[in-house]
Structure 1
Amino acid sequence: MLELYQFELSQYSEKVRFILDYKGLAYRKIEVTPGVGQLELFLLSGQRQVPVLKDGNRVIADSTSIAMYLEENYPEKPIIPLQSTRKALCLMMEEWADESIGTKSRKVLFGGLSKDMNLRNSVLPSNTPDFLKNILTNVPRELVDILGFGVGLSPEAVKAAEKALKQDLEALCLLLKDSPYLTGDTPTLADLSVAGLSLLLKFPSGPYLNIPENMRGKGVPGFADNPEYETFFQWRDRFYTDYRRPIYASSPSSPNSIEIE
């Protein structure tokens, strides 16, 4: 069986999960523990980032490389068009989504966590002790901003990402206004990438992720609840309904701890 080494809340892992589910492939999710688990992942793949796909003796890192591997080796339900113009648009949009939605959404989520104590509370595990939850949810915004400087998430960087991502979502809404998919009348890698990479802007409301129920349907204020982007998120939600496999529908996709052979 295919094995996906992942973080459950990694938007790039979600992109690969969308592709696997769309193609109807059975796979086992293996949750990588940040830190020590990433060192073990390095022994397996030669790098520390998720997602990593293991198919027998083959190990493939990077979401785009995984997508290309799956398309070549599991061609049923193709995700890359054959027609040259549509293929070019699909590949260009996939790369754009990685660099735009994929990277900017992390900064935007951090900005949302710094501003919204309710959102900050929702991303904490359900078994977090009440005293610790109270401490973490009431950290002053100024302190969160200071912490952000240390990881390249200054208020200026967050603001720039928010501005750029709003323009990106406006463009996606225009594309989807009169079309069911981004590059034509059938789903492609472009659609699967954009849908998966938008994970951090708004968590799906259905049982598609192994997350606390109070996180489902929550999102970054100003994005997930903005009526200007309703076209996009309604499309994204339909994409989950149509193509993502609920976690209760297939027990092998429930996360397991990392195991390196």
Structure 2
Amino acid sequence: MLELYQFEMSHYCEKVRLILDYKGLAYRKIEVTPGIGQLDLYRMSGQRQVPVLKDGNEVIADSTAIGKYLDRQYPDRPVIPTDPKQKGLCFMLEDWADEVLGLNARKAMLAAFSQSPDFRTAALPTSTPALLKNLIGSVPSEVLDVLSFGVGMGPDALHSAKASLRQNLEALTFILLDHPYLISDQPTLADFAVAGLSMYIKFPSGPYLDIPEGLKGKGVPGVADIGTFEPFFNWRDRLYTEYRKSFTPATSPSSSTRPTSIDIE
């Protein structure tokens, strides 16, 4: 069985999960423990980033490389068009989603956690004691802004990311007005890249991700709640409804520091 080494909260991993589900491929999710788990990943793949796909003796790192590999090795339900123009547009839009949409989404999500106590506390596991939730929710946004500035994401950078996201979503909404998908009449690598990389802008509702229930359906204030972008999120919801499989853990969460395995059939 295919093995996907991943972080559940990674939007690049979500891009790969969407492709695997669309192709109807059975796979095992292996949650990589930050730190020690990434050392294991380095020994296997020569790098520390997720996602990594293991198919027998084949080890493929990077979501784009994984998408191309899956189309070569498992050609049913292809995600890369054969028409040259469509193929070029697909690769260009997929790269834009990886390098622009995904980066802006991550910055905007950090801004939302910093500025919105409700968003912060929603990210906590349901088992978190109320006292701790209240404590985390009451941390002044100014303190978190200072921490963000320390890692190169000051208020100006975060504000710029949200402004760019609005432009990104406006463009996508226009493209999808009269088209079922971004490139052709069938979903492509570009569609799954855009859908996966928009996860941080607004987390999908429904039983797709193993994340705190309070996060599902939540989005970046000032972006996800703008009515103009509703057609885009409706389009993404349709992709999930039609192709994404429900999350059903085969085992209970492990307390071990080793990666945990989850079967997706």
Contact 2:253–2:260 under 8 Å retained in 1: no
Change (3 A) 1:254 1:70: farther
1:210 matched to which residue of 2? 210
Distance 2:19 2:230 in 1: 24
Q: In the alignment, does 2:259 pair up with 1:258?
A: yes
1: CA distance, partners of 2:222 / 2:134: 24
In the alignment, structure 1 residue 20 sits paired with structure 2 residue 20: yes
Tell me the residue number matched to 1:87: 87
TM-score (norm 1): 0.95
Partner of 1:168: 168
1:39 aligned onto 2:63? no
Quick one: structure 1 residues 23 and 161, their matched pair in 2 at CA, closer, same or farther if it must change by over 3 Å?
Answer: same
For 1:152, the equivalent position in structure 2 comes to: 152
Structure 1 gap segments, 5+ residues each: none
Separation (CA, whole Å) in 2 of partners of 1:140 and 1:220: 18
Q: Is the 8 A contact 1:29 1:252 kept in 2?
A: no
Distance, in Å, in 2 between the alignment partners of 1:111 and 1:118 is: 13
CA displacement 1:106-159 (0-9 Å, x = unmatched): 100011111111011111122222222222111100000011012221111111
DSSP-derived class of the 1:247 partner: coil
Name 1:247's counterpart in structure 2.
247
What residue ranges of structure 2 are gaps of 5+ in the alignment? Answer: none
Matched, 1:70 2:70: yes
Distance of 1:28 and 1:84 partners within structure 2: 34
Shift of 1:194: 0.4
Matches within 5 A, 1:90-169: 90-169=90-169
CA contact (8 A) 2:162 2:223 kept: no
Once residues 108 and 12 of structure 1 are traced to their aligned partners in structure 2, the CA distance between those partners, rounded to angstroms, is 16
Q: C-alpha separation between the residues in 1 aligned to 2:227 and 2:128? A: 33
SS of equivalent residue, structure 1 residue 163: helix
Q: Distance in 2 between matches of 1:243 and 1:68?
A: 19
The letter of the residue matching 1:145 is D
Q: Which residue of 2 aligns with 1:49?
A: 49
- Are residues 39 and 258 of structure 1, via their aligned partners in 2, closer, same or farther at CA, if it must alter by over 3 Å? same
Q: What is the CA-CA distance between 1:238 and the residue it aligns to?
A: 0.7
Could you say what secondary structure the match of 2:210 adopts?
coil
What is the alpha-carbon root mean square deviation over aligned residues?
A: 1.7
SS across alignment from 2:199: helix
Taking structure 1 as reference, are residues 202 and 141 closer, same or farther at Cα in structure 2, changes over 3 Å only? same
